[in-house]
Structure 1
Amino acid sequence: MGKRRLEDAIKQLDHPIEVTYRCFELDPTKERDVKENVYESLAKKYGMSIAQAKANTERMVQMAKESGLEYHMDTQILTNTFDAHRLTMYAKTQGLMKEMTERILRAYFTESKHIGDHATLTDLAVEVGLNREIVEKMLASDEMADAVRADEQTAQQYRITGVPFFLINKKYALTGAQPTDMFVQALKKVIAEDEVIILNNQDGAICDDDGCELPKK
């Protein structure tokens, strides 16, 4: 949801903005095959009732809907996401990280696919244009694990404890799925600070490849 709002904000700005996705596991200890559903998991994690967990989740579903996203939490399959992160890092080497990230998120939140399952991840990878045999081999190994761990170590250095987390120019941070207007304001602020401000008047000599132009008296 935060990703979609950021994308909507960028569309409103006439300025080139590069977005880089990073790896972050909310629960690195989670098993690949989880028996409990999302409500049971939230209730256990935050010490709330199942009813409270359902109410909180429904609010998130409604917020996602307002951003043009369709979440199906009732059938969501919880899993360990480390291999999904490895796949996105491999996709990055092929210039397809954005597409792979988007496809995995849709598979998880909308289509209720098991994104910890290697066969499922391979099918998703093929959909975005990656080679099936290479992906199968990569997932069966520990390839790209170091790249994922490096991102997670960077997150620790920035003291990031949750997602979404947006770091702009390694200077400004936005946490949570902020409203689109908030992203627009933040990006405009950074863009304005990055603009070159000419402090002097035009009385100095200006030189380029063709020589120097002296100021007119």
Structure 2
Amino acid sequence: MKVEIWSDYQCPFCYIGKRRFEEALKQFENKAQVEVSFRSFELNPEAERDINMSQNEMLAKKYGMSHADVEANNQNLTQQAKELGLEYHLDKVVLTNSFDAHRLMHFAESKGKENEMNELLFKAYFTEGKHIGDHAILVNLAEEAGLDKFEVEAMLGGTTFTAEVRGDEQEGSQLGITGVPFFVINRKYGISGAQSAEAFLDTLKKIWAEENPLQMVNDPATGDACTDGSCNVPEK
């Protein structure tokens, strides 16, 4: 089973959805047969790298929300995150362009460090209030994930993995993805939003059963067996 997760590192529900899916996967009987990969989606591809505005100010301006409404929204998200063991500091996040962070994720994937890099990027943004558009910070995070500092600096200084990011975004558009997180299973089933761990687990079980039906190798009516609390004893 292949699960592809479209997300953006500046999306609070993407980090929450990622963790809920991971909780579901831990409980899934066939988790060893599940391949998970992350795909790029930019919520604001036109954003500047350096933005002189807080997230609270941005939300109030973009959605016409009052300061109290923004705080209430932040508290709700923070509580949802806390229930999953995540620590959100939404008043400290640094708005930026996430494109280079996505390029770094693809570089990490090429080195077998995709999972580590994804976790560190989300944590840096929502917990540590780091500027994930800043190359120096991205290099430090990459080193923490076990990647080579000089290779990462060279990658970020050029245009490598631009095609991979754009390719993910194009594929997502073709699949009809307009918001994240979005989970695609076997390129056949789609799950939108940060569903509960229980919902993810139920979906995994259902899809596994549909994709892997039991194949009988003999007629169930033949062979000795016990049914309905009784056994047919063969005559000698």
Are 1:131 and 2:132 an aligned pair?
no
SS in 1 for 2:190: strand
Report the 3-state secondary structure (helix = DSSP H, G, I; strand = E; otherwise coil) of the residue aligned with 1:78: coil
Aligned residue among 101, 104, 116 for 2:133: 116
**What is the CA distance between 1:74 and its match in structure 2?**
1.2
Q: Give 1:143's aligned residue.
A: 160
Q: Per-residue CA shift, 1:134-177, capped at 9, x if unaligned?
A: 10011010110010000000111112111111111112221111
More deviation, 163-172/43-52:
43-52
Select which of 107, 123, 146 maps to 1:106.
123
What is the alpha-carbon distance in structure 2 between the residues aligned to residue 196 and residue 184 of structure 1? 18
Structure 1 residue 47, shift from structure 2 partner: 2.5
Residue 49 (structure 1) shift: 2.0
CA distance in 1, matches of 2:61, 2:177: 22
In the alignment, what sits opposite 2:52? 35
**Rounded Cα–Cα distance in structure 1 between residues aligned with 2:103 and 2:215:** 45
Aligned to 2:195: 178
Distance 2:131 2:29 in 1: 38
Mapped pair 1:9 → 2:24? yes
The alpha carbon displacement at 1:197 in A equals 2.9
How far apart are the structure 1 equivalents of 2:209 and 2:215? Answer: 13
TM-score (norm 1): 0.90
| Equivalent in the alignment of 1:213 | none
Which 4+ stretches in 1 moved above 3 angstroms?
Answer: none
Tell which has more relative contact order, 1 or 2 (C-alpha 8 A, sep 6+): 2
- 1:51 partnered with 2:64: no
Structure 1 residue 200: deviation in Å? 6.1
Query: How far did residue 201 of structure 1 move?
Result: 2.7
Three-state SS of the structure 2 residue aligned to 1:74 is: helix
Normalised to the residue count of structure 2, the TM-score between the two structures is 0.83
Match of 2:46, as an amino acid?
T
Deviation at 1:199, TM superposition (A): 5.2
**Percentage of pairs with the same residue:** 51
Q: CA RMSD in A?
A: 1.4
Deviates more, 1:194-203 or 1:150-159: 194-203
Letter in 2 for 1:63: Q
SS in structure 2 opposite 1:173? strand
Q: Deviations over 1:162-201 (max 9, x none)?
A: 1111111112221111111000110000111121432563
Q: Report the Cα distance in structure 2 between the residues aligned to 1:34 and 1:124, rounded to whole angstroms.
A: 21
Aligned amino acid, residue 45 of structure 2 = P
Query: CA separation in 2, counterparts of 1:159 and 1:50?
Result: 34
Q: What is the identity, as a one-letter code, of the residue corresponding to 1:13?
A: F
1:6 is matched by which residue type in structure 2?
F
Name the residue aligned to 2:208.
Answer: 191
